[in-house]
Structure 1
Amino acid sequence: MLDDLDRRTFIRTTAAVSGAGLLAGCGGSGGDGGSSDGGDGDAEATEAETTESGGGMETAEAPEEVANYVGDSSNFDGSMVVLTDQDEVSVAVGAEGNGGAFAFDPPAINVSTGTTVVWEWTGQGAGHNVVSEGEGPLDSGSAVAEEGTTYEYTFEESGTYLYNCVPHRALGMVGAVVVE
């Protein structure tokens, strides 16, 4: 139970720190910086744009594909939380955002291959699910509302994985996992 509380505290801290970074003027140049053409300049730009906040949470400017997809979510500030040094990370489902409990938190994360992402339902905002945008590996099934429900997926291949909550996609309940 303590691990669950620590995980939830981590997620809340991540959201607060990401917002603080935006307020502090950590805006990017607006350039692509995150295209997936594999050029060396993109990796260098991402490293240069990575910042570590006072709370020890590392963030980086989200790639253009992620920013375009997650940009309408009210809790997305243009950055993704960098969690590349962890074997397992959590994302809250039904977090505050988009006019209620209709958000993923954090909405965009950066992980390493082999990382397991666990989506944890808060019990808020009615029934939610996690489904890949277009064709993709994520599908938690039918929308459920029960707090404590979890869905996990281990990302074995690098790439950008966009996902949403089908019942609340129109409200902006979308997220992204960038795997290196």
Structure 2
Amino acid sequence: MAGCSSSSGDGSGGADDGGDSSGGEDTADREMRDFGGWFDRTGNYDGVHDLTGQDTVTVAVGADGNGGGYAFAPAAAEVSPGTTVVWEWTGNGGTHNVVNREDGLFESELTVSEGHTFEYTFEESGEYKYVCVPHETLGMVGVVVVE
């Protein structure tokens, strides 16, 4: 099974820089997909960010959106099989977690700690929806598309 881990990270600063810069100026290339209404309540969904071809991708937890620090950024990311997604807590918006409810493949602990990280390596193609359980009703949801 794919690996996952979490830490109170102090060594992921370089990975964060790589993840943020990889989002770059690709807005023209972002595909707007509905995902069955998954993002209907999500204010910061701006299309699927194509982050394929990278070994590691970073998603901010507690990014600005949905009325405060209640968003994942990017909300939707496309990655290649074998990519490790690292969710990194910003420290904003209170206590968060990252939970794949549909398949139960991954679930982080609840924490508010800035710099905390949780990671999961996606091996199989598919769409993997996830939520922050305490803020799901505010629209704090995301998806990783593996193709």
* 2:37 pairs with 1:68: yes
CA distance in 2, matches of 1:9, 1:137: 25
CA distance in 2, matches of 1:133, 1:69: 13
**Correspondence for 1:164:** 131
Per-residue displacement from partner, 1:81-115 (whole Å, max 9, x unpaired)? 00111010000000000000000000000001000
TM-score for both structures, normalised by structure 2: 0.83
Q: Verify the 8 A CA contact 1:70 1:176 in the aligned structure 2.
A: no
- Using the TM superposition, give the Cα deviation of residue 4 of structure 1 relative to its aligned residue in structure 2, in angstroms: 4.7
| 8 A contact 1:136–1:161 mirrored in 2 | no
Cα separation, partners in 2 of 1:86 and 1:9, compared to 1, 3 Å: closer
> Higher helix share goes to which structure?
1
The residue type paired with residue 76 of structure 1 is Y
**8 Å contact from structure 1 (residues 98, 173) kept in 2:** yes
Quote the Cα distance in structure 2 between the aligned partners of 1:137 and 1:117.
Answer: 13
Structure scoring higher RCO (CA < 8 A, sep ≥ 6) equals 2
Bigger-Rg structure (1/2) = 1
Find 2:118's aligned residue among 146, 151, 154. 151
Gap regions ≥5 residues in structure 1: 27-50, 52-58
Q: Report the RMSD for the aligned CA atoms in angstroms.
A: 2.1
Unaligned runs of 5+ in 2: 1-10
Structure 2: distance between partners of 1:8 and 1:157: 21
Q: What secondary structure is seen at the aligned counterpart in 1 of 2:38? A: helix
Aligned length in residues: 136
Secondary structure of the structure 2 residue equivalent to 1:136:
coil
Structure 1 stretches of at least 4 aligned residues deviating more than 4 Å after TM superposition: none
